[in-house]
Amino acid sequence: MALSSREREVLELVSRGATNKEIADQLFISVGTVKNHIHNILEKLHLKNRAQIAAYARMRKVAGWH
């Protein structure tokens, strides 16, 4: 299942090391919504944690996927 545009934004910010609060503030959403997006990203990409999200994002950039 493909990520939504908002989920892609959250993925990018997680990969930069942003906290949930920092992501919420930057995207003008609640911390709870950020947590929901992260949960959805983990489920959709079959990942287990934030570190894997960051590694996934880096791998996509190196491989030239957008």
User: Taking 80 as the threshold, does the pLDDT of residue 4 lie above it?
Assistant: yes
pLDDT per residue as tens digits for the range 7-59: 999 999 999 999 999 999 999 999 999 999 999 999 999 999 999 999 999 88
What is residue 66's predicted lDDT score, i.e. its pLDDT?
53
The residue with tokens 């983990």 is 42
CATH of 5-63, one of 1.10.10.10, 3.40.50.1860, 3.30.9.10, 2.60.120.200: 1.10.10.10
The C-alpha atoms of residue 23 and residue 35 are separated, in whole angstroms, by 10
Domain spans of the chain, in order of start: 5-63
**Amino acid symbol at 51:** A
